């Protein structure tokens, strides 16, 4: 019904309230976890129309972020947002750079 809609008035949208239970369900449906060069990462992808939702999730996650302790020297999580211009998909990525000691 709204596929041809060009203008989205975000002031008409409801306030987005993120809580742990909602986020858990959203991540189960839309989340992606993995390893890149032995560093864990987490991603959520949504169409660019839903950028306000990804920004709300990023703010919520930033309020929770504490350094992880499961590695020798972990860095603080890095939260980034990218846009695939070809598909109009925005991606929220969280990665942790791990520093391993090789003996």
Task: Give pLDDT, residue 25.
Answer: 92
Query: Are 26 and 76 spatial neighbours (Cβ–Cβ below 8 Å)?
Result: no
Q: For residues 58 and 86, what is the distance between their CA atoms, to the nearest angstrom? A: 23
- Reported as a pLDDT band with limits 50, 70 and 90, residue 75 is low
Domain boundaries, the chain: 10-18+31-99
- pTM of the predicted protein model: 0.58
3-class SS letters over 10-43: HHHCCCCCCCHHHHHHHHHHHEEEEEECCEEEEE
Task: Give pLDDT, residue 42.
Answer: 82
What is the per-residue pLDDT across 17-70, written as a single tens digit (0 to 9) for each? 888 899 889 989 988 888 877 777 888 888 878 888 888 888 888 787 665 454
């Amino acid at each position: 019904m709204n596929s041809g809609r060009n203008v989205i008035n975000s002031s008409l949208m409801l306030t987005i309230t993120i809580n742990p239970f909602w986020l858990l369900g959203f991540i189960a449906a839309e989340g992606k976890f993995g390893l890149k060069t032995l560093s864990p990462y987490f991603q959520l992808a949504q169409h660019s129309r839903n950028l306000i939702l990804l920004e709300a999730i990023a703010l919520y996650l930033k309020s929770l972020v504490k350094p992880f302790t499961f590695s020798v020297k972990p860095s603080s999580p890095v939260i980034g947002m990218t846009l695939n211009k070809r598909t109009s998909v925005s991606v929220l990525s969280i990665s942790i750079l791990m520093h391993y000691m090789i003996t």
